[in-house]
Amino acid sequence: MGIGNPAPLGLLAFGMTTMLLMYVDMGWVEGEFQEMVIGYAFFYGGLCQLLAGIFELLRGSTFPFAVFGSYGAFWMGWGFAHLMYEADEFTFGGDYSNGKTAWLIQWGLLTFCFWVVSLRKNVCLMLVLGLLSWTFFLLAAANASGSDGVKKAAGAIGFLTAIAAWYTAMAEIVNEEWGRHVLPGLRPLHAPERIAISKDSIIKRADYDSKSKTLFLQFRGMQIKTRQDVLAIKEGVEEVIKSTGESRVHVVVDYADVVLLDDIASDYWDMVNGLQNNYYLSAKRFHISSFGTNKSRNLMRDPVELLLYRGRTGIDPSGIVKSV
């Protein structure tokens, strides 16, 4: 059983909680209303976003996991700090206005970084993260200057951020239910171009490290749709390996976003088995970690990793891929 789309819950939890706090910042409600926001910060803005992030991780989505995980923890930390303050559990040694300003700027910078990534996603996500980064920066300016006007402006931008998050969540729900783009704004801004597959293009996408005797194959985004594509990959890889002067090499392949049609999956697998038997010392899938660790898995022991493609696939014990 697959995991559903957790993003609408994360977006609604973020939007609802943000909107409640912006009521206070804009002066629309009493300042004491912030006490009610604390409860929502823990459970709706915090816990629900963390759950959304965890489920995104289980679906293999790193970016939404980082976003929902970060803002979920933000709301839980904000709620805990204000709860302790209201309960007189914190003893502050004095004014920490500079620290709070730096804290808000820090979150603004992180949000800006998320916004840069969203430039490859869709208009809705760009709008949410763009408005949120302005909200943090304006809140920092309001805290540093003590200006009520700037604080109200930050509240207004934050209110628009919440509305944008609401809309994005509902657009995801509605479009998923209707099975098409009913509400606009979610179409991908970056669609990978069809990469022509030929012997020469495969050679150009190969990089050999003579010290480690490792051949890196950049197959990211390739669409393998015909038997001619399979043959071109085979000829290109063989040509590169022969040019190294080695009879066998280690191979690391980047299979991210590879599309492989069911009709030729068995042909591709047979071709890869042949290359492995004739030329490979080892074969791994490239999976970079920002912590400096290589999370590659051994493809020769885990053949399903060889055939990463968008769609539903399965693999029988003999190693022949079939549709399910």
Per-residue pLDDT tens for 87-141?
Answer: 765 555 556 789 999 999 999 999 999 999 999 899 999 999 999 999 999 999 9
Judged by average pLDDT, the poorest of 58-72, 245-259, 301-315 is: 301-315
Please tell me the number of Cα atoms within 13 Å of 101 on its side-chain side: 11
Write the DSSP string, 220-253.
Answer: TT-EE-SHHHHHHHHHHHHHHHHHTT-S-EEEEE
3-state secondary structure of 260: strand
| Per-residue model confidence (pLDDT) at position 91 | 56
Question: For residues 160 and 165, what is the distance between their CA atoms, to the nearest angstrom?
Answer: 9
How large is the average pLDDT for residues 74-98?
77
Phi-psi region of 302 (alpha: psi -120 to 50; beta: other; left: phi over 0): beta
Residue with more model confidence, 297 or 184: 184
| Per-residue model confidence (pLDDT) at position 194 | 67
| Per-residue model confidence (pLDDT) at position 295 | 41
Per-residue pLDDT at 189 exceeds 60: yes
Identify whether the C-beta of residue 159 lies closer than 8 Å to the C-beta of residue 29: no
Residue with more model confidence, 258 or 317: 258
Burial class (CB in 10 A: 0-12, 13-18, 19+), 127: buried
* Residue environment code for 59-88, b if the CB has 16+ CB neighbours within 10 A, otherwise e: eebeebbbbbbbbbebbbebbeebbeeeee
| Per-residue model confidence (pLDDT) at position 92 | 55
Residue pLDDT, tens place only, 16-69:
999 999 999 999 999 889 889 999 999 999 999 999 999 999 988 899 999 999
User: Which two tokens mark 109?
Assistant: 């910078």
| Per-residue model confidence (pLDDT) at position 168 | 96
| Per-residue model confidence (pLDDT) at position 130 | 97
Question: Which is nearest to 205 in space by CA: 193, 220, 194?
Answer: 220
How large is the average pLDDT for residues 293-310?
39
| Per-residue model confidence (pLDDT) at position 319 | 34
Question: For residues 259 and 93, what is the distance between their CA atoms, to the nearest angstrom?
Answer: 59
Residue with more model confidence, 91 or 324: 91
How large is the average pLDDT for residues 200-209?
92
Question: Does the model's pTM come out above 0.85?
Answer: no
Average predicted confidence (pLDDT) for the chain: 84
